[in-house]
Structures are given as structure tokens and as C-alpha cells.
Amino acid sequence: MSDNDDVPFNRDFPLKPGIVEEVRPGVRRVLCNNPRPFTFTGTVSYIVGRGNVAIIDPGPDDEAHAAALLDAVSGETVSHIFVTHTHRDHSPNTARIKRSTGAPVYAEGPHRASRPRFESEKHNPESGADRDFAPDIRIGHGDVVEGDGWRLEAVATPGHTANHLAFAWPERKFNFVGDHVMGWSTSIVAPPDGSMIDYMESLDRLAAREEDVYFSGHGPEIPEGPRFVRFLIRHRKAREASILHRLAKGETDIPTMVRAIYIGIDPRLTTAAGYSVLAHLEDLVARGVVATDGDPVIGGTYRMANA
């Protein structure tokens, strides 16, 4: 497949919930049984190393999944817990794993929005935030945490959430990318929780790195990770071009743009598509390409700035 083709999504992921699978030497994964339109077959938790191990993203508030993770590391010591971001399908189970293992929790910080909420915003698009989460140890871009036979470097990847981190294992050329990059679908970027400006900058940061196998929060591993990121960048730019094409026909609102751009969309994803369009519009308004009256919000109308 050439780099000029559309995103080569891969929805072939036969892993069953609760089963531990060694996907690469030193990397095991366990799938949680929480399939949803936004989570695909469920959240994937990762176990890094052997003997003294780290767990990445313990998953949602799910006792069976916690038990499966602990069973997978039976006879081993969990020395570290890492959390990529604070959505409720990734971080709430952290408390269970910590109680059972005593391992310290590493993450960027508590949940926060990418920007302050506008007074005109009545609806919170991200009801899935885990606002109870707080790490034991806060880490940021470039921080390195070492364990027994592994070494993870925090890579700031805000966009899906403001506190999103990827965890790179440079020596193995692996990167645990959470929900920032997924092989089965594009990521949700829903303001004010998320930011398209941040998201695109984070894609550029990943594309410039050496890691070539990505392990995502949902779905299968992604080979040739930086190349896949370049597909995503082009996809987002094409989405922006579609928005501008519609606005060139005259002022309109977000539901109209969604109907014009997302042909045949699953009705359950319409709201998320609207927030994705809003994320692009926020970026375009900030760049002076698109205009709106007042703040760029989900219920606003939009026009070309030169119209």
C-alpha cells in the first residue's frame, strides 16, 4: 500500500477478554470485556517485562479484568503502574491493581480539559472523564522510568485528552500510544476535553520518533507506526479540507457539516463526529481561516473568514 492511500485501518483483532497473550517478547496484553462503539472490542492493558513487571492502563472499573491482570502476573512482582490518560475506560481499575500490588502509579496528572469551558457551553462532551484519578508520581515529556529489563520514556501526546502520555521503549522500538493512535479507527478529539491543535502537534512528535511498533489502548498493534501516523495526519488534513469545502458554499452549522462529510455514519457516532468537526473548527478559527460569532462552540454557526 502506498503512502498516498487512505488510512489502512486494521479491525482484525481476535483476542478474547481475560486471555493473556504475549504479543512481542517482553510485552503481554489482556483485553477487558467492555466493547462499545468507541472502545472497539474493549480496552487493552499491557504487561511489560518478566518477573518484575509494569502494567500499563489497568482499564475501567471492572473487577473481572483486574482479576485477569493479576492472574496473568501470578508469581511475579508488579513494580510500576502506568496510565496513559484519564478516561473511564483506562484508569479507574488502577486503584484495584495498586491495592493488590502496592505498586506506585505513574501518569501526567489528574484529568483536566484542554482549555477553559466557554460560558456558552452547556454540555460536557466528555462524560467519560475519570475525575477521581491522581497518580503517585507525576511524570512529563522526556522523563524516563526504568524497571527490571525495561526502560520507558514518557512522550507528551495531548489532544485526545490534555494529560495524555505515550510510553516509548526506545531500545525495543516499541511505543505504548494509548488512545492517541489506534489501528482500528481514528481517535476522538472532543473539545474542551480534547484539542485538535494539540492532537496534530502530538502526531508530528510521534512521527519524528524512531519507535516502529505501536501498542494501542484498543485494537491490534500497529506496525510501521510513524508511517501510520503520516496516514492519520493526511486524513485529518483531508477532513479539514472537507470542512472548508462545505463552508465555501456558505455559512452553516455543525450538524449540516456532519451530514455532508460523514456519509453513512453509524448514528451512535454522530455526536462524536460533531465534536470532531468542532475540534477542527476551533483550530481553523484560531488560525483566522474560519469565523464565528462569539466562541467556537458546538451550537455555533461558521463561515469562511473572508466571506
- pLDDT tens for 187-204 read 999 999 999 999 999 999
pLDDT digits (tens, 9 = 90+) for 15-29: 999 999 999 999 999
Q: What is the pLDDT of residue 4?
A: 44
Q: What is the pLDDT of residue 123?
A: 53
pLDDT in tens, the chain (307 residues): 334 457 899 999 999 999 999 999 999 999 999 999 999 999 999 999 999 999 999 999 999 999 999 999 999 999 999 999 999 999 999 999 999 999 999 999 999 999 888 876 655 544 589 999 999 999 999 999 999 999 999 999 999 999 999 999 999 999 999 999 999 999 999 999 999 999 999 999 999 999 999 999 999 999 999 999 999 999 999 999 999 999 999 999 999 999 999 998 888 889 999 999 999 999 999 999 999 999 999 999 999 998 7
Indicate yes or no: pTM above 0.85.
yes
Distance CA 12, CA 220 (A): 7
Q: What is the pLDDT of residue 126?
A: 45
H-assigned helices in 8-93: 63-72
Distance CA 211, CA 227 (A): 11
* Backbone Cα Rg of the chain: 19
Residue 218: CB atoms within 10 A of its CB come to 26
Per-residue b or e along 184-211, where b marks 16 or more CB atoms closer than 10 Å to that residue's CB? bbebbbbbbbbbbbbbbebbebbbebeb
